[in-house]
């Protein structure tokens, strides 16, 4: 009898099995009777079992190989290949970020970070004024060596590389942050929360940071005005004179944060709190959670920065002999910000041109806000009247 079907690698071939079985059958029947179901039948069953086993093995192997290779499983399970690609992409991004942070870092692993989209990066727009402030400020130009510009689109990244040494393009997960993000629109909210998520990753990498909106003018080195032992320091729209008082109204556009277990936990808590307060931006959520008992339990040290040194258009720092930064907060509209920040830099330029003895004796102050004050008052009236901006 000749066996049919696929053969497999084994020390004893199927042919040999048949031959031995036939010989055994002949011996049992005196070498004269042909095989019956009790003889050759058993050897046929043995062959069938081996064939079935090897077939199942190869089929199983093929299915496993297809599962690992294909981009998606036909059963809807997540693809293993996609998992490895995602992990690899994440590791590559973190490696690139850490490289940028390391190159920009101060000795104590502190960096200055700002975020930027296309609308604010256009020539003559906010970014140019931001960089100009470092050049015109008092001993601030050297701080540009530690500034990391985080861009939100490819066009902005290319312009950043033309103007600055330390640029990083942030993955925005399909969101489009190229145009001006109007206050409290979905695009604005997404951009604010993506920023908090990114800053959390910086802390996890072990870096302290000063985060600054790019519509903040740097006029003096602010590090001399920071509190030494605070974990989290933040500027204010309105400062009541007590840096410990949680009733101060903070502004998330300027923070100084040290990387430790408390701040890493806090940024994660802050980010996750957005789900408890939907349709709020990061600053409003911070106002909701700043008195949360968990923060006290974690012993997070929070200090609020005086508007005397860290001023803005909400509460102007009137003493040019003390001011470190000025923020175009309480201002609606990109053109209004640009107009008033240009005037601010001209005011600062005139102040810096004074002899040192006249600077201390002078009562120089700002001639801004102008356009920003008008735009902000109008926006408040619209909100009070229930008109959607």
Contacts 24+ apart (CB under 8 A), 73-76: none
Q: Tens-of-pLDDT digits for all 389 residues of the chain?
A: 444 444 344 444 444 544 444 444 444 444 444 444 445 555 666 776 777 777 777 766 666 655 555 544 333 444 444 444 444 455 666 789 999 999 999 999 999 999 999 999 999 999 999 999 999 999 999 999 999 999 999 999 999 999 999 999 997 665 544 444 444 455 667 788 899 999 999 999 999 999 999 999 999 999 999 999 999 999 999 999 999 999 999 999 999 999 999 999 999 999 999 999 988 889 999 999 999 999 999 999 999 999 999 999 999 998 999 999 999 999 999 999 999 999 999 999 999 999 998 998 887 889 999 999 998 887 776 656 654 33
User: Tokens 């992409």 — which residue?
Assistant: 89
What's the pLDDT at 44?
A: 66
Q: Answer yes or no: are the C-beta atoms of 150 and 115 closer than 8 Å.
A: yes
Q: Answer yes or no: are the C-beta atoms of 155 and 118 closer than 8 Å.
A: yes
How far from 8 is each of 20, 47, 225, 368, CA to CA, in Å? Answer: 18, 11, 80, 88
User: Tokens 């001209």 — which residue?
Assistant: 346
Residues ≥6 apart with Cβ < 8 Å to 344: 217, 326, 328, 366, 368
Residues ≥6 apart with Cβ < 8 Å to 46: 17
Centroid of chain to Cα 28: 81
What's the pLDDT at 46?
A: 72
Q: Helices H, strands E: what count in the chain?
A: 13, 10
Q: For 8-64, how does the pLDDT look when each residue is reduced to its tens digit (9 = 90+)? A: 444 444 445 444 444 444 444 444 444 444 455 556 667 767 777 777 777 666 666
What's the pLDDT at 91?
A: 61
3-state helix, strand, coil split of the chain in percent (to 5) is 50, 15, 40
pTM for the full predicted model: 0.74
Q: For 67-120, how does the pLDDT look when each residue is reduced to its tens digit (9 = 90+)? A: 555 544 333 444 444 444 444 455 666 789 999 999 999 999 999 999 999 999
Q: Which domains does the chain have, with CATH numbers?
A: 92-382 (3.90.550.10)
């Amino acid at each position: 009898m000749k066996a049919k079907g696929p053969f497999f690698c084994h020390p004893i071939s199927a042919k040999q099995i048949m031959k031995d079985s036939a010989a055994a059958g002949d011996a049992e029947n005196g070498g004269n009777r042909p095989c019956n179901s009790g003889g050759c039948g058993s050897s046929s069953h043995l062959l069938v079992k081996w064939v079935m086993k090897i077939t199942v093995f190869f089929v199983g192997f093929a299915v496993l190989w297809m599962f690992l290779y294909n981009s998606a499983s036909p059963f809807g399970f997540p693809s293993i290949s996609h998992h490895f690609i995602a992990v690899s992409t994440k590791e590559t991004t973190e490696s690139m970020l850490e490289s940028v942070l390391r190159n920009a870092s101060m000795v104590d692993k502190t960096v200055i970070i700002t975020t930027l989209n296309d609308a604010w990066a256009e020539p003559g727009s906010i970014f140019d004024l931001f960089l100009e402030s470092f050049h015109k400020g008092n001993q601030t130009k050297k701080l540009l060596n530690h500034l990391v510009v985080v861009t939100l689109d490819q066009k902005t990244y290319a312009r950043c590389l033309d103007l600055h040494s330390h640029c990083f393009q942030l993955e925005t997960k399909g969101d489009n942050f190229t145009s001006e993000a109007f206050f409290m629109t979905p695009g604005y909210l997404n951009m604010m929360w993506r920023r908090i998520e990114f800053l959390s990753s910086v802390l996890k990498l072990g870096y302290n940071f000063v985060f600054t909106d790019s519509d903040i003018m740097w006029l003096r080195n602010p590090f001399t005005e920071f509190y030494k032992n605070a974990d989290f320091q933040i500027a204010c729209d309105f400062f009541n004179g007590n840096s410990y008082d949680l009733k101060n109204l903070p502004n998330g556009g300027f923070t100084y944060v040290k990387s430790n277990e408390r701040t890493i936990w806090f940024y994660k808590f802050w980010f996750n709190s957005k789900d408890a307060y939907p349709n709020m931006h990061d600053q409003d959520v911070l106002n909701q959670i700043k008195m949360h008992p968990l923060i006290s339990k974690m012993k997070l040290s929070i200090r609020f920065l005086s508007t005397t040194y860290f001023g803005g258009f909400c509460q102007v720092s009137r003493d040019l002999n003390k001011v470190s930064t000025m923020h175009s907060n309480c201002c609606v509209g990109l053109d209004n910000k640009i107009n008033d920040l240009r005037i601010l830099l001209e005011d600062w330029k005139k102040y810096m041109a004074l002899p040192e003895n006249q600077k201390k004796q002078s009562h120089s102050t700002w001639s801004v806000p102008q356009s920003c004050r008008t735009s902000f008052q109008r926006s408040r009236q619209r909100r009070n009247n229930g008109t959607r901006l």
